[in-house]
Structure 1
Amino acid sequence: MLTSSWSALMADPRALMETLIIVGFVAFATVGFLAGLREMASDLRRFRRAKV
């Protein structure tokens, strides 16, 4: 299945470009989401220390 999908993408440059754009957006959003989670966790740790 993956090889047939890959050959179909290689045959159509526009589909390949759209796929790369979507993968780029998803990767960028994932990195931002994980960075936000990390920042939120550090803020919660600081908040707990300050509250006590």
Structure 2
Amino acid sequence: MRANIVITGVSISPNPVVTKQTFKIAVDIEDVIYVLGDDNYALADNDGALIRVE
């Protein structure tokens, strides 16, 4: 099964992190949308990687 999300950003706070203290890691995610062919299968390029909508 292929991933259906992509991580577009990561942040850590506070930055820098202090040893033995609480910190937070946050990520930005987006849905991956693949280009579909006539038979509703995702299209792949010559290397076999699925083509994504940008």
Tell me which interval the TM-score lies in, with the shorter structure as reference length.
under 0.3
TM-score w.r.t. structure 2 length? 0.24
Compare CA radii of gyration and give the structure with the larger one: 1
TM score, norm. by length of structure 1: 0.24
Where relative contact order (Cα < 8 A, 6+ residues apart) is larger, the structure is 2
Q: Which has the higher helix share?
A: 1
